[in-house]
Amino acid sequence: MGDRHTWTAAPAAAERARSVLAAAWSCAVTAEGGREEFVGAHTVAVDGRVLLHVPEDSALLAAAICAPRGEPSAVLEFADVAPVPVRNRIRARLWLAGWFIPEDGHLAFRPTRAVLRQPSGTVVLDLDEFADAEPDPLAIAEAQLLTHLADAHPDAIERLTRLVEPDSLRGAVRVQPLAVDRHGLTLRIERARGNGDVRLPFHAPADDVTSLTERMHVLLTQASAASCPRALQRQRTDGDG
């Protein structure tokens, strides 16, 4: 028999960081003792360099032009926010420390340090791995995919809870899709006190939306064959009262 699991069940830290960078719409920049928030003003080069397009009267641009060697130090912060309304919506934060260089009408940022913080912990990324990594192929489409799942298919979410261990559902008051990547779907289980996350891995990576549809179909088929968790049954009974 061949190896059915030659892929990882979750994205590596460098890939996760590149996904945060690819999907982020805003960027907070701290430089020269000040902090500015830029919305829809950055793009990302293939190697992970951030290209920031700032107004001509931006203090950051002035600092970059006037600083010695044109390279002021700065820290960029990107927040990964869950597209579906859940508690604690910040799923990760990415910080890049480095230098801005004026280049062809924009500021090119060259990182010298990259730090990713997730609920599982904080990781200092290897810069070569960060540069070589690619964002998850579903990163850009994730917000639309999860929003559609939550708004149009609540029945599917309920069915998927059949794949969750009953102990993880004890005391649950709401279950929502938190994240999806090519390796699996993550559900946020909210309780009266606190919350927890459960990951449902795919049987094989989903490298585009078409293959994701097939992976989700497999999960739902597996869920249909499973019995309803007793913890969730008790929750429904209590709620019906």
pLDDT tens per residue, range 58-91: 888 888 877 766 566 899 999 999 999 999 999 9
Q: Is the pLDDT of residue 150 over 90?
A: yes
| CA angle at 13 for the pair 8 and 16, rounded to the nearest 5° | 90
Average pLDDT for 113-118: 97
Confidence at residue 229, expressed as pLDDT on a 0 to 100 scale? 61
Confidence at residue 63, expressed as pLDDT on a 0 to 100 scale? 80
Query: Distance between CA atoms of 97 and 78, rounded to whole angstroms?
Result: 12
Q: Give the pLDDT band of residue 6 (cuts 50, 70, 90).
A: very low
Q: 63 or 224: which carries more pLDDT confidence?
A: 224
pLDDT tens per residue, range 175-222: 999 999 999 999 999 999 889 999 999 999 999 999 999 999 999 999
pTM of the model: 0.88
For residues 52 and 29, is the Cβ–Cβ distance under 8 A?
Answer: yes
Ranges assigned E (strand) in the chain: 26-31, 34-39, 42-44, 50-52, 73-81, 90-103, 106-118, 121-124, 172-181, 184-191, 195-201
pLDDT tens per residue, range 123-148: 999 999 999 999 999 999 999 999 99
Average pLDDT for 16-30: 96
Q: 26 or 237: which carries more pLDDT confidence?
A: 26
One-character DSSP codes across 189-209: EEESS-EEEEEEE-SS---SH
Using CA atoms of 142, 149, 121, 125 in order, give the dihedral in degrees to the nearest 10: -10
Q: Is the pLDDT of residue 169 over 90?
A: yes
Average pLDDT for 38-62: 90
**H-state helical runs in 108-229:** 127-132, 142-152, 154-160, 166-169, 209-225
Confidence at residue 58, expressed as pLDDT on a 0 to 100 scale? 83
Confidence at residue 57, expressed as pLDDT on a 0 to 100 scale? 83
Q: Is the pLDDT of residue 5 over 60?
A: no
Confidence at residue 234, expressed as pLDDT on a 0 to 100 scale? 44
Confidence at residue 71, expressed as pLDDT on a 0 to 100 scale? 61
Q: Provide the mean pLDDT of the chain.
A: 89
Confidence at residue 239, expressed as pLDDT on a 0 to 100 scale? 46
Contact partners, residue 235, CB within 8 Å, separation at least 6 = 169, 171, 172, 173
Q: For residue 189, with 0-12 CB atoms within 10 Å meaning exposed, 13-18 middle and 19 or more buried, which class applies?
A: buried
